[in-house]
Structure 1
Amino acid sequence: MSLKQSPSRTALEAARAATRLARQVAVALGDLDLSPSQYRLLLFLSEGNAAASAVAGRLAVSRPSVTALADGLEKRGLLQRQGDPSDRRKVAHELTEAGRQVLAAADEAVADRISGIVAHLEADQADQALEGLALWNEALTLVRGGQEPRP
C-alpha cells in the first residue's frame, strides 16, 4: 500500500497503527512504573539538561504538566533540578545516573515489545515496519527542529 495509491486510507491506517502502538509502548513501560510521558521526558533530558519552558515546548505539554512529571521522577531519584544562579526563576532539569539506567531499561523494554510484535510478520515485512518507524522518528525530529517540509 503506497501513499500515492490512497493517501487518505494509508494515513488513516498509519494513524490507527500509531494509536495502537502507543498502547504497546505504555504496556512495555508499565513494568518499570513509567508512563509514556515520563519516558518522553527522560528521553528529552538524555540529550542534556533543560529549563522547564524548553521541556514543555519540546514535549508539547504545559509547564505545570512538566512540573508534575518532574516531581514524580525527582522523588524516584531519576532527575534532579538545579536553580540558575543568574535567574532564580529558571530551573534546569537533569538526568541522574539512576535516571540514565531506568531510561536504558525502558528503551530495552520498548524495543523488545516492538520486536515481539513485528516477529509476527514475514522477515522482509518486519524489516520494513522497523525501518518505517525509524523514518517516523527522523521526520518527527525534523519537525521539532523547525525544518520546512520537502517539496
Structure 2
Amino acid sequence: MSEPVKVREGAAGASDDKPGFDLGSGPGRLLVWLYGVFTVAAASRSVVQVILDFGRAPLAYVLSAVAAVVYAFITYSLVRGGETARKAALVCCAAELAGVLVVGTWTLVEPSAFPDATVWSDYGMGYLFIPVILPVTAMVWLRRSARR
C-alpha cells in the first residue's frame, strides 16, 4: 500500500491574494454576522430618516448612511477574504473607529449639532457600545489573520 501524497501549501503559481485562512471563519464568522446586522440597521435607519425627516437633522442622517456604507464594505471584505481584502477591511475598521470617536465626542461636546442620534452618537450607546467595540475587535482579528 502506498501512502497518500502530501500537497505543499503555497506551491509555485498560487495567488498571493488567497487567504492563509478564511477571514469569515471562526471568530471572523461572528464579525461577518455583526457587521451584516449593523449594515442593515444603519442603512434602514438612515433611509427612513432621510425620507421622512431629512430637514430635522441632515448631518446625523448622512452620518448614519456613511456608517452603513462602511459596515457594508467591511462585511464584503471579510466574506471575500484574501490579503487585499484583509488590508482594505483593516483600513476601513480604523476609519470606522475614528468616526465613532469623533462623532461620539462631538455629540457629547455639542449635543445641539445632533438633534437626532446617529449610529455613532455617544460612542454607540444606543447600540450597546457595539459601534466602538466592533472595530477594535475586528482590527485585532484582522491583524492576527495576517500572521497566519
TM-score computed with the length of structure 2 as normaliser: 0.30
Q: Counting helix residues as a fraction of each chain, which structure ranks higher?
A: 2
Q: Counting strand residues as a fraction of each chain, which structure ranks higher?
A: 1
Higher relative contact order (CA 8 A, sep 6+): 2
TM-score computed with the length of structure 1 as normaliser: 0.30
